[in-house]
Structure 1
Amino acid sequence: MLDAYASKPPLPRQYAENLLVMEKGRGCRISDRSGREYLDMGAGIAVNSLGYGRLDLAEIAAKQMRKLIHVSNLFTTGPALELAEKIIAAGPPRGSTSKFEAVHFGNSGSEANETALKYARLYASDKRGDGHHGFLAFSGGFHGRTMGALSLTANTQYRLPFNPLIPGALILPLNDEEALRNTLDESFAAVIIEPIQGEGGLHKPNEAFVRTLNALCRQYDVLLITDEIQSGLGRCGELYASSLVGLEPDIITLAKPLAAGLPLSAVLIPSKINQLLKPGLHATTFGGGPLTTAVASATWDLLNDPVFMEEVNRKGAFLESLLNEGLKSLGIPGEVRGIGMLRGLHLVDEKYDSSWCNKVLKKTLEAGLIILKSGLDVLRLAPPLVISYDELTEGVHILFDTIKEAI
């Protein structure tokens, strides 16, 4: 039998020296090459919202591969047009007056955010000239690892080795209205914010902060970019999590679950940006190819089904109740965070720190459960949206059994 782990694989050392080698998946479970099965309550880091081994999506992919996999961006294809039309037709986040006119397709969340930043600088330069190029983000935010996106990612562990980053990037404390009022002005091209921070401890902007942010962006004509890469497309029980916190974006970025595991991102832009774009000003080789957009079009229909979304909300409430019951059984101070099917558990005592969380992650994996970490000390669950109630119960029970052994 093959060893489940690849020891010292020929991969960059940014990855672990002992990597578990996964081989196949079906539903919410994934198996390593030794045949051991795991319940994945991380969904490939919030990517596999529809689970593993979807035969319906595999057939769509196979059919498209037999027809056409790639053309240059001198052309477009039916699947790309169909997907873009669906995204535009879905409209803005509920409660927002935003209006989107076009969708740029890319390959990843980082690329989507880079594109959004470029568009914002283009708009600011056109409207106000030079010197209005600043970008504003917030503590706990994660927007990617390419240079522009990294410049607005708060985690210094990711940032410092690559300094100097792009000029004009500033990070403020989340929910600090005074700092926001004293900082945000017409010198900025854009503000980027997550409706809920997937990598930053599952914090979210409060109502007063969001109200001030929306107003200041309108006052100074600074573009508001909402990074929905982890929180969007049903993860929080709405198509866009921006609607749950009141954000009114000019630009939305999407990725992770958009193509059910294939690499695809989307940047939604309004007319005032689209009218500034000229051929060749921005492009990507593989973004929006017919294979990924064919699968994404079917994925969009599944995720955007109102009946499906209602069930996601019921499952989110059920998961929250399971976590609260488990926390109560521990008898120690803690907090259940998150929205919908993006949840976290934080134990208050400082001894439950990053290394303790890493220990829990290792032990849950040994017990056949995959979970994630958010920030330094929050255990994160982002299960496939198709997970059953029994599987949610199973996963949470394994989690708390592991925690009880570790405290």
Structure 2
Amino acid sequence: MKRWQKALQDNYGTPTIELVSGKGSVVKDANGNTYLDFLAGIATNVLGHAHPAIVKSVTKQISTLGHVSNFYAHPNVLELAEKLQKLTGDKGARVFFCNSGAEANEAALKLSRKTGKYKVVATQEAFHGRTMGALSLTGQPSKRNPFKPLIKGIKHVPFGDSAVMKRVITKKTAMVIVEPIMGEAGVIVPPSDYLKNLRQYCDDNGALLVFDCVQTGMGRTGDWFGYEYSGIKPDVITLAKGLGGGLPLGAMIALGSASKLFVAGDHGSTFGGNPVATAAALSVISAIEKEKILSHVDEVGEYLLTELALIPGVTEVRGAGLLIGLTLNAPVAKALTKKCQDLGALINAPGDSTIRIAPALNVSMKQAQKFVVIFSQAMKEVSHV
């Protein structure tokens, strides 16, 4: 902790533990303690730690070709772009690679300017990143206020409210951006017809519909992107987190006519589509397919949704697949997170009475059962504080 405080800036505060190794869904700290990792690098390590396929592909790639910039092509970037194109079901889709979710959303924001319009509709409490453009889209005042003035022309409305969206989307709207399920806000699931309604409103007004799938994507919800249940397609998909399986990689995928908006020179990223990061991503997609992980996500997710709802002190459990949010009956989320850590499980408290869990997609049922025991015990102990 002293070394951290002396060498790193204070934007994160100071971590309480130092992790030194991991395998699958178990990590070890510098003192030799082990933990069930039910946060997975904030929904990022979709295959857990040290997955053999990722280790093999990254090792092979870094010993072959490390980095080429965006002046040249390489096999991995071509194959990954084609894979993502196929997953969207749109043969006309085109991919832009970057390094993070914030960068992917910055790219989407720039893309929307190519429509000739600049007004944007986003949602309150949404999280789209912390760079200035992405922060302008983020609907959390605590993160926005210290850095005003931000980009103008962005209106935030309540998430899940179709009626309000219908009123604010106009012919002047360049894009509407939403998360299929809000992650950072506490895993908030919208009404079943919400995304379908947004598609109609955007079509009626010539606006781009952008789905921020940074947290819901790459199998997290049991589907590849997290919006599939709606039966519609967006104009733009933004990805990161699980895409690289732990390596920094983001993508902005434009579908249909939106794929033709960027022309040469409009945007770029030195590291975007890096050979090593894209090698990891190809391994992630291959493993999800070969190991039938999407059906496993549904099974383990259903178990957790059911069992966590039975624990005293939990008033609501929501989510899809292995992106799960819980509401507690008291503002003890931070104390609960600390207690779970003491008992051997890592989780996240996005709010005073809200818990978020997002383990690796290949977490075992046995590990899920162990987590429920730990969480239940932690709730008991925190409730007596």
Tell me whether the two structures share a fold, i.e. TM-score over 0.5. yes
SS at match of 1:285: coil
Separation in 2, partners of 1:403, 1:344: 15
Single out whichever of 31-40 and 202-211 deviates more from structure 2: 202-211
Output one character per residue of 1:155-190: Cα deviation in whole Å (capped at 9) or x when no partner: 111000000110111100112233222211011110
> Residue 128 of structure 1 corresponds to which residue in structure 2?
none
Aligned letter for 2:316? E
Q: Deviations over 1:302-343 (max 9, x none)?
A: 2244822112111111111221232xxx1x561111111111
Displacement after TM superposition at 1:72 (Å): 2.1
Hey, what does 1:185 align to over in structure 2?
A: 170
* Deviation per residue, 1:87-141 (Å, 9 max, x gap): 112234xxxxx6642111000000000001111111x21xxxxxx2111111221
Of the three residues 47, 50, 57, the one matched with 1:50 is 47
Corresponding residue number in structure 1 for 2:211: 226
- TM-score (normalised: structure 1): 0.90
CA RMSD of aligned residues (A): 1.8
Partner of 1:85: 82
Q: What's the % identity of the aligned pairs?
A: 36
Which deviates further from its counterpart, 273-282 or 337-346? 273-282
How big is the shift at 1:212?
Answer: 2.4
Residue equivalent to 2:156: 171
CA distance in 2, matches of 1:250, 1:343: 27
Deviation at 1:271, TM superposition (A): 4.5
Of the three residues 65, 69, 93, the one matched with 2:66 is 69
Equivalent position of 1:345 in the other structure: 326
1:30 counterpart SS class = strand
Alpha carbons 1:232, 1:240 under 8 Å: kept: yes
> Within 2, Cα distance between the matches of 1:77 and 1:263?
18
Inter-partner Cα distance in structure 1 for 2:181 and 2:79? 29
Give how far 1:55 is off: 2.6
* Secondary structure at 1:161 match in 2: helix
Unpaired runs of 5+ residues, structure 2, are: none
Inter-partner Cα distance in structure 1 for 2:281 and 2:79: 10
Write the deviation string for residues 248-296 of structure 1: whole angstroms up to 9, x where unpaired. 3100011001111000011111242333322221100001011111111
One of 363, 372, 376 as aligned partner of 2:348:
372
C-alpha separation in 2, matches of 1:390 and 1:9: 41
Q: Which residue of 2 aligns with 1:119?
A: 111
Contact 2:125 2:140 in 1 (8 A): yes
For structure 1, which segment, 338-347 or 265-274, has the greater mean C-alpha deviation from structure 2 after superposition?
A: 265-274
- The reply to whether residue 385 of structure 1 matches residue 361 of structure 2 is yes
Give the TM-score of the pair, scaled to structure 2.
0.95
Q: How many residues align?
A: 383
CA 1:178 to 1:277, structure 2 compared with 1: closer, same or farther past 3 Å? closer
Change (3 A) 1:387 1:231: same
Q: Partners in 2 of 1:218 and 1:150 — Cα distance?
A: 26
Question: For each residue in 1:178-215, what CA deviation from the matched residue of structure 2 results, as whole angstroms up to 9, or x when unmatched?
Answer: 32222110111100100111111211221343332111
SS of the residue corresponding to residue 8 of structure 1 reads: helix
> In the TM superposition, what is the alpha-carbon distance from 1:225 to its structure 2 partner?
0.4
The answer for unaligned runs of 5 or more in structure 1 is 93-97, 126-131
CA distance in 2, matches of 1:102, 1:135: 22
| 1:7-406 equivalences in 2 (<5 Å) | 8-92=5-89, 100-122=92-114, 124-125=115-116, 132-305=117-290, 307-326=292-311, 330=312, 332=313, 334-347=315-328, 349=329, 352-353=330-331, 356-406=332-382
Q: Judging changes above 3 Å, is the alpha-carbon distance between structure 1 residues 316 and 18 closer, same or farther for their aligned structure 2 residues? A: closer
Is the contact between residue 61 and residue 294 of structure 1 (CA under 8 Å) also seen in structure 2? Answer: yes
Equivalent residue letter for 2:323: L
State the alpha-carbon separation in 1 of the partners of residues 222 and 14 from structure 2. 37
Structure 2 Cα separation of the partners of residues 307 and 18 of structure 1:
35
Task: Please state whether the residue corresponding to 1:238 is helix, strand or coil.
Answer: coil
CA offsets 1:18-50 (integer angstroms, 9 cap, x no match): 542111101101111121111101111100110
3-state SS, counterpart of residue 38 of structure 1: strand
1-side partners of 2:309 and 2:121: how far apart?
35
Provide the C-alpha distance between the structure 1 equivalents of 2:139 and 2:271, rounded to a whole number of angstroms. 29
Q: 1:158 to 1:86 in 2, by over 3 A?
A: same
Tell me how far 1:240 sits from its aligned partner. 1.6
Conservation of the 8 A alpha-carbon contact between 1:344 and 1:374: no
Indicate the SS of the match to 1:236. coil
Q: Distance in 2 between matches of 1:163 and 1:8?
A: 27
Contact 1:228–1:252 (8 Å) recurs in 2: yes
Query: One-letter code of the match for 1:346?
Result: T
